[in-house]
Amino acid sequence: MAQVTTYRGAFIDGEWVAGDGEEITVTNPDTGEAVGSVSAATPDQIDLAVASARRAFESWRRTTVLERVEICRRAYDICMERAEEIAVLITRETGKTIRESREEMVEYTADHFRRAAEDVLRHEGKVLPSTQGMNRKRILIVQEPVGVVAAVSPWNFPVDIAGIPIVYGLAYGCTTVWKPSELSPLCAEAFMDVLHDAGFPPGTANLVHGRGDVGQALVGHEGVDSVVFTGSIETGEKVARAAGLKNRVLELGGNGPQIVLADADLDAAVEGAIMGCFYLAGQVCTAAERVLVHRDVHEAFVQRLVERTKQLRVGDPLAEETDMGPMCHRGTLERTRAHIEDAVANGAEVVVGGTSNGMYHDPTVLTGVTNTMRIAREETFGPVAPIMAFDSLDEALEIANSTEFGLTASVFTKSLNDAWTAAEELRHGTVHINESTNYWDQMAPFGGAKKSGSGRELAGWIADALTETKQITFDLT
Ligand code: NDP
């Protein structure tokens, strides 16, 4: 019998309270068994959470930077102590492999506390000279905490992604209300415990559970000053409408191209595709959703990719040796199947994989993919490597730029000229040269071009969403 966990509900003003809304059951994608059930917050409880954050903001923004840094440092230690325990929760709720969940907790989430503590200590203002009058004015530029930050996050990096606005927000002097995905509420509660036990005062970090209606009410709430949303383009558009004129960062979907030129190191390009297409069963915004391969090396590349794909160990996500677990969400699994069916109906060929069993979908390699197929035009979010052949760099760049997405692209080549040209021409927020699309550097700005989002996050780059730039003028006459 699987262990069923009782969720505690909303975390408001430093206390756990049961949600008064609908009961939502969380299912383990691997076993199909209930992990537990969670009660959603009602509109009144969302009001209470936002009011608690507003009250706490008035004192939290006045704390010294050293007080906030000290709590962040304690939180880092606690997060590292509990990393394994929370990683297991992530895996039970989402089906991520234990190695992927551990990486999320240790390399990304815990380190947000360390990086935020360092960042906020080095936060600088500016003094500008006057360009008006008799040069007797001085203009001071400071960045102040924006106020109450609403974080709405997806299930695929359920703690790390929300951790960015929450941890950096708290470090900058903001207070927060978080609506995690209804698919991963248990690890969210465990993260709130880390914040509470580290000493972030009551009201500074709040949490409400629920579906999209709760997220929508939160981002549209008049007591919220800034919104940091990560999720699909479709939901992001609703969030943008509900948030109106609030400060905001939107981190949305992708359909990333990996381009393999004729002179590429093919082994490196194949490993890039394995990481890009099959990490987290392809359920990553930065996944390589289109693999564009120069016709001269197409056959060799496909042969090596198929060999490597067959070596992937698919199965129990809690087993150390597993490379790929189940998919998390039935709708996404069905979309993956539909994209493969559409591609095959229009002339593509399944070279390996192509079938599913329960929530598991085989790692799949498709050849003969063309730019009009659904799999090339839409985000699949499944474990598929759709291969498209091309004859010139110009053609590859045209295909790569031809969708509404623009999150991450990668290019494999030994030519400095081609790499540079591609990097300049690709309309994507990030371009990696000789590296998988699924490479994330925690100090670099992360975000999308075109419909893949607006604003940037990670390290100090998220400061724009969490602070208000203020001009203060001194007249010295
Ligand atoms: P969704 O857009 O379905 O959901 C994201 C969050 O928004 C969830 O907490 C969801 O709640 C909530 N939500 C749903 N409807 C609304 C609404 N109307 N107003 C406010 N909040 C709402 O995304 P998924 O969870 O399925 O995640 C996958 C998507 O996220 C993919 O498109 C992926 O590319 C993208 N993503 C982008 C990243 C980036 O940094 N650019 C990183 C990771 C993922 P609930 O779960 O309860 O429905």
Which conformational region is residue 128 in: left (phi greater than 0), alpha (psi within -120 to 50 degrees), or beta? beta
- Continuous H helices in 122-253: 160-172, 185-198, 212-219, 233-243
- Going from the Cα of 233 to the center of ligand 1, the distance in angstroms, rounded, reads 8
For ligand 1, atom 30, name the residue with the nearest CA.
Answer: 231
What are the C-alpha distances in Å from 462 to residues 142, 169, 292, 353, 459? 16, 9, 32, 40, 7
pLDDT tens digit string along 366-388?
A: 999 999 999 999 999 999 999 99
Active-site position among 104, 251, 289, 378: 251
CA of 86 to the centre of ligand 1 (A): 21
Rg (CA), the chain: 23
Domain 256-447: CATH architecture, name and number where available: 3-Layer(aba) Sandwich (3.40)
Which of 181, 229, 280, 284 should be mutated for ligand 1, with most atoms under 8 A from CB?
A: 181
Calculate how far, in angstroms, residue 178's C-alpha sits from the geometric centre of ligand 1: 13
How is residue 314 annotated by DSSP?
B
Residue 442's SS3 state is: coil
Nearest CA to ligand 1 atom 47: 211
* Interval between CA 410 and ligand 1 midpoint (Å): 24
List, in order, residues 6 or more apart from 131 with CB less than 8 Å away: none
Residue nearest to atom 31 of ligand 1 (CA): 232
Closest listed residue to residue 188, CA positions, set 305, 307, 35, 66:
35
- Taking alpha carbons only, the member of 254, 223, 227, 225 closest to residue 238 is 227
pLDDT score of 3? 60
User: Is pLDDT above 50 for 1?
Assistant: no
Rounded-to-integer distance, Cα 352 and Cα 369, Å: 14
Ligand 1 centroid to Cα of residue 231, in Å, is 3
Identify the pLDDT of residue 135: 74
**Ligand 1 atom at minimal distance to the Cα of residue 452:** 41
Name which residue sits closest to atom 16 of ligand 1, judged by CA: 212
Is 341 known to be catalytic?
no
Task: State the pLDDT confidence band at 183, using cuts at 50, 70 and 90.
Answer: very high
The reply to whether 72 belongs to the active site is: no
Mean pLDDT value of segment 239-262: 97
Ligand 1 atom 39 nearest Cα: 251
pLDDT score for 6: 63
Q: Domain map of the chain by residue range?
A: 10-252+452-473, 256-447
> Is it the case that residue 332 has pLDDT exceeding 70?
yes
Question: Which of these CATH numbers, 3.40.50.1220, 3.90.76.10, 2.60.40.10, 3.40.605.10, describes 10-252+452-473?
Answer: 3.40.605.10
- Mean pLDDT value across the chain: 96
Among 143-147, 341-345, 458-462, which stretch is predicted with the lowest mean pLDDT?
A: 458-462
pLDDT tens digits for range 35-83: 988 999 999 999 999 999 999 999 999 999 999 999 999 999 999 999 9
Beta bridge partners of 384: 364
pLDDT at 307: 98
- What is the CA(391)–ligand 1 centre distance, in A? 37
Report the chain's terminal Cα–Cα distance, integer Å.
79
**Which atom from ligand 1 is nearest to the alpha carbon of 448?**
41
Query: Is it the case that residue 110 has pLDDT exceeding 70?
Result: yes
pLDDT band at 7 (very low <50, low <70, confident <90, very high): confident
* Residue nearest to ligand 1 atom 19, measured at CA: 216
pLDDT of residue 5: 63
Query: Could you tell me the distance, in angstroms and rounded to a whole number, from the CA of residue 264 to the centre of ligand 1?
Result: 35
- Ligand 1: residues within 6 Å at CB? 152-156, 161, 179, 181-183, 211-212, 215-216, 219, 230-232, 235, 238-239, 251-254, 285, 379, 381, 407, 448, 453
pLDDT at 348: 98
Residue ID of nearest Cα to ligand 1 atom 23: 231
pLDDT (0 to 100) of residue 459: 82
Q: Which atom of ligand 1 is found nearest the CA of 329?
A: 26
Q: What's the 181 CA to ligand 1 centre distance in angstroms?
A: 7
Distance CA(94)–CA(103), nearest Å, equals 15
CB 359 within 8 A of CB 333: yes
- Provide the token pair at 308: 């490597």
Under the banding of pLDDT at 50, 70 and 90, the label for residue 4 is low
Model confidence pTM above 0.85: yes
At residue 8, the pLDDT reads 84
- List the catalytic residue out of 285, 289, 378, 435: 285
Q: Locate the ligand 1 atom nearest the alpha carbon of residue 154 and give its number.
A: 25
Q: Which atom of ligand 1 is nearest to the CA of 180?
A: 9
